Structure 1
Amino acid sequence: MAVESTMMPMTLSEIAETVGGGLVIPEGVAATPQTVATSAVTDSREVGEAGVFVAIAGERVDGHDFVGRAAQSGAAVALVAHQVDAPMAQIVVPDTVAALGTLAQHNIERRRALDTPFTIVGITGSVGKTTTKDMLAALLGSMGETVAPVGSFNNEIGLPLTALKVGPDTRYLVAEMGANHVGEIARLTTIAPPDIAVVLKVGVAHLGEFGSVERIVEAKSEIVRGLADGGVAILNADDERVASMSAQAPGEVLWFGVQDERALASGCSARDIGTDALDRPRFTLSTPDGAATAVRLGICGRHNVMNALAAASVAFRLGMPPARIGEVLEGLTRISPHRMAVSTVERGGASFTLIDDSFNANPDSMRAGLDGLMAWGAGEQTAPYRVAVLGAMLELGANDLELHRGVGEYAARCGVDAVVAVGGTADAHLDALAEAVAQGAKRAQTGATPAHPSIDWVHDADQADAAVVRLAREHGNAVVLLKGSHVSGLSALAERWAA
């Protein structure tokens, strides 16, 4: 079962010694160095009795302004960069983000020291991390107490917060590890060294930050080099960049995939892949024991077959029978928000099916989302009217305009009926990227086999809302894909429609 667990109990003096900070207890505060803390948060609204409130100074909000609120909620201590005038014990450190990571590392070491089984699974890749994490949390949660991040808590703040939910009874920790720069995943693996490291895919997400695909490979491979002693690497055999990481693995390597012989011969693989009318995949799962198991996923998206294979590889390695793997994956119908979430929207006299995949976007996930849109209702007598609402993709480097044109062209050529490219009135660059999507769709209207979608270039979520409602009113049986980076505002539009 996945749980909201508490960390290993620690006294304030232990915490202060661990993070190298100075413990300050203002006069009149009941805390002592032996006061015990059992949880840690960075949001003062979430802190409770015996909690550690970590005050982080962000671009817009400074957590130090909320230490008083944390005190009112019964927090045991605040981790601060400077003492705050508040009736609460405080541990003063030079850098609260670094201290958070150090505390999380100590928490994992404390759990490892217990004489009971404990396994950390680390997941990285340019796409699919969160969905694979959700699948794996469901699988492992059926075998023992499992801690997994909420949403995409996969950076220098999110991963430590997840690691600080590990307590004495935790059997599995699923640690999602993301990166914008070389060295970030290496740092995360020092906090929670994985016993099993999963690498899904190397794409061009964050290419603008890394500078080259080779640097992305270097960054993702840090999870393999950061394996704990005796650790196992589970790699996507179909992605040569990922497969190349096997040379850096300190120990055993396992494979998953649908094409490469390494996965087909001795790993977890899939054959007879198909989808139903709601784009829910079905396939035959082959496992290293020779079993062939029919699997139907409870979530939609053909691309999720690879994510399911990665999760199944881990579960099988940890002792779950293939038939049980299939049962759990079929029963998983809801994952983290804004990831291929399907609903029906009634708005402005229109009704349409919404596929909300608006959490984030890069060229690979854009194409996967569009493939999912095209698979929706395939084979039915009356084809749905397919609308692709596409926002900007960020951090793609100097070639970002052409990459956006390529997505627009792909959308048009794969057969969508309408493209709505969403920019931003307050951000000229976002608007230019959306214009490039529209240009790409128009480019597909020329040539030997021209595509003929309706194309709208709009400049904010309100205009996108109006365009979709108009199209849905004009065309019955509409299905709408929302896909874009978070800054595009499409996830907010999805929440508006849900309300």
Structure 2
Amino acid sequence: MNIPLWTSSEAETFTSGKSTAQWEAHSVSIDSRKIEKDGLFIAIQGPNNDGHDYIAMAQEKGAAAAVIAESKIGDFKDCPLPLLVVTDTTQALYDLAAGARFRTKAKVIAITGSVGKTGTKEGLRCAFTALGKTHATEGNLNNEYGLPLTMSRMPADTDFAILEIGMNHAEEIRPLSKLAKPDLAIITTVAPVHLEFFHGIQGIADAKAEIFDGLGDDGVCLLPREHALFHHLRARARDTGVAFENVLSFGKHEDATYRQVDTEFKTTSTDVTCLYKKHCESFSIQMPGDHWATNSLCILGAVDILGEDVTKALNGLKNWKPSKGRGQRHIIPLEDNGTAILVDESYNASPPAMKAAFKVLADMPLTHGKRIAILGDMLELGETGSSLHIALAKELESRQIDAVYCCGPLMGEMYKALPTSMQRLHAKDSSTLFDAVLSDLEDGDILLIKGSLGSKMVPVADAFIALSDAASQDKTPIKTPTGAMNLKPKEVHSHVV
């Protein structure tokens, strides 16, 4: 029997709204492009679009019902689609999220951090899926709309919920954590990201620490023990009422609750050994890199803290693999029948993430060929942007990266600080990078692509991935014409908040 996610009577109870007819919904959407048959469409009134303009589209796509504002009811007197009429549609989204949290007995984990939260969230999903019915944030739906949307989609019989919470300003995480009411709060790390919105890294730490506000009396938090601000974070947790014994930690530090004592790097995996509670646990993850080894301790720790089967959960980690733009690897065919390897880290970037990616590139076995870094600007770093970029030059040199292609004004500062032997190209924007790199590729080369989303490194990666995909279908190397990149965003006509 397919149990509905929401019924009209349940939704009325939690939103204090009134339905024009009875209905049952099996999904929830605030994006008219993603409405599913028998789904509930919430007509959010955003700053640029009004979801009420897409009620007809929702009906055409087979929605079960739509949530509309009482002030708009006059526009839908003859609408055949069942409507849940509420005072405010955004508040209704939050009300459904709160209702979903109220009705479930799931153990809830909330995770945040400047770097690694999305990848670690996916690892948590894999581990807990091996233990029971798990509901987790899709993609990066982790903001003021994404978090309540994720929660509103949580089935009542969920066993474990993994909720990612993001931010770029203070006071964003606190209300979302209070909505989520987690049993366990995890901070992966605190790094100089979004610095233009904060007065230094301690301000970022305080913003991340807002995640503690949603914890109950028995709530537990898991913090990075090696971080310079560990004691500051622990103090913030204690200030919000977290018991001393419930402030736990992970990392290589000898005092870490979940301590990383050995790591072995392989081409496409990492072997990790962890000590905790007088136990020694060794396991393998399909996530290359020391930073993922450290973050895997969050996962082991979460399972142990919630009293679940660690062995079974670690077995589930076999399904934890890099996602698009976050470390996926692709074989790139060359015209001379040789191949290169692409490490796609194009989704986003920050100083610590850049350094971690450089280490991954340096650790990859190289029998012949070059290690190549293709880099775009790291954004939202404020007045420290130039110095943080320049510092990457020494990092690249220390990792013995052979060639650097980059774009953007900030990377231009870094490029000038590089030894001339490493310099290949600095471009104004990313549009010329693909052709330049492709013409210089040789058999055995390894490419790393990374930059903030706004630096448009994703199209560069996609152009190389298209080569890989075409070759895998044809089974023969292909030649790609120049100018293959498309930097234009896809045209959309429907409502997105």
| 1:233/1:254 contact within 8 Å kept | yes
**CA distance in structure 2 between the partners assigned to 1:444 and 1:46 by the alignment:** 46
Q: Counterparts in 2 of 1:116-195, with a 5 A limit?
A: 117-195=105-183
Report the Cα distance in structure 1 between the residues aligned to 2:458 and 2:59, rounded to whole angstroms. 34
Q: 2:395 aligns with which of 397, 410, 417?
A: 410
For the residue of structure 1 that corresponds to 2:383, the secondary structure is coil
Q: Distance in 2 between matches of 1:155 and 1:211?
A: 22
Question: In the alignment, what sits opposite 2:431?
Answer: 462
Q: Kindly provide the CA deviation profile for residues 137-158 of structure 1, in whole angstroms up to 9, marking residues without a partner as x.
A: 0111000000011122211111
The one of 256, 260, 273 aligned to 1:284: 273
1:246 corresponds to 2:234: yes
Using the alignment, how far apart are the partners of 1:69 and 1:94 within structure 2? Answer: 22
Q: How does 1:80-479 map to 2 (within 5 A)?
A: 80-81=68-69, 82-83=72-73, 84-85=75-76, 86-91=79-84, 95-111=88-104, 117-247=105-235, 248-249=237-238, 250-251=242-243, 252-263=245-256, 267-276=257-266, 278=267, 280-288=269-277, 290-329=278-317, 331-346=318-333, 351-377=339-365, 382-422=367-407, 431-439=408-416, 443-445=417-419, 452-472=421-441, 475-479=442-446
Q: 1:491 corresponds to which residue?
A: 458
- Larger RCO (alpha carbons 8 Å, 6+ apart): 2
SS in 1 for 2:181: coil
| C-alpha contact 1:351 1:478 (8 A) present in aligned 2 | yes
Residues 1:7 and 1:205: Cα distance change in structure 2 (over 3 Å): farther
How far apart are 1:301 and its partner, in Å?
A: 1.7
Q: Is the 8 A contact 2:23 2:65 kept in 1?
A: no
Q: Using the TM superposition, give the Cα deviation of residue 279 of structure 1 relative to its aligned residue in structure 2, in angstroms.
A: 5.6
**1:70-113 deviation line (CA, Å, top 9, x unaligned):** 111222322345455554333455653343222211221122xx
State the secondary structure of the residue aligned to 1:303.
Answer: helix
The CA distance in 2 between the partners of 1:242 and 1:41, in whole Å, is 38
Distance 1:98 1:459, change over 3 A: farther
Deviation larger for 53-62 or 34-43? 53-62
Q: Which moved more, 1:92-101 or 1:151-160?
A: 92-101
Alpha-carbon distance between aligned partners in 2 of 1:444 and 1:461, rounded to the nearest angstrom: 19
5+ long unaligned stretches in structure 1: 26-31, 112-116, 423-430, 446-450
The alpha carbon displacement at 1:59 in A equals 6.3
Q: 1:6·1:166 contact (CA, 8 Å) conserved in 2?
A: no
Aligned letter for 1:237?
A: R
Structure 1's 124 and 181: CA in aligned 2 closer, same or farther, altered over 3 A? same
- Offset of 1:56 from its aligned partner? 3.3
TM-score normalised per structure 2: 0.84
Contact 2:4-2:24 at 8 Å conserved across structures: no
Aligned to 2:493: none
Q: Could you tell me whether the CA contact under 8 Å between 1:150 and 1:336 is conserved in 2?
A: no
Describe the SS at the equivalent of 2:161: strand
Amino acid at match of 1:386: R
Once the two structures are superposed, residues 157-201 of structure 1 have per-residue CA deviations (whole angstroms, 9 ceiling, x without a partner) of 111121122112210000001111111111111221100111111
For structure 2, the 5+ residue unaligned runs are 467-497
Residue 19 of structure 1 pairs with residue 15 of structure 2 = yes
User: What CA distance in whole angstroms lies between the structure 1 residues aligned with 2:224 and 2:252?
Assistant: 10
The Cα shift of 1:373 comes to 0.7
| Percent of aligned pairs with the same amino acid | 30
Number of residue pairs aligned between Structure 1 and Structure 2: 454
Distance 2:364 2:350 in 1: 21
Give the TM-score, by structure 1 length.
Answer: 0.84
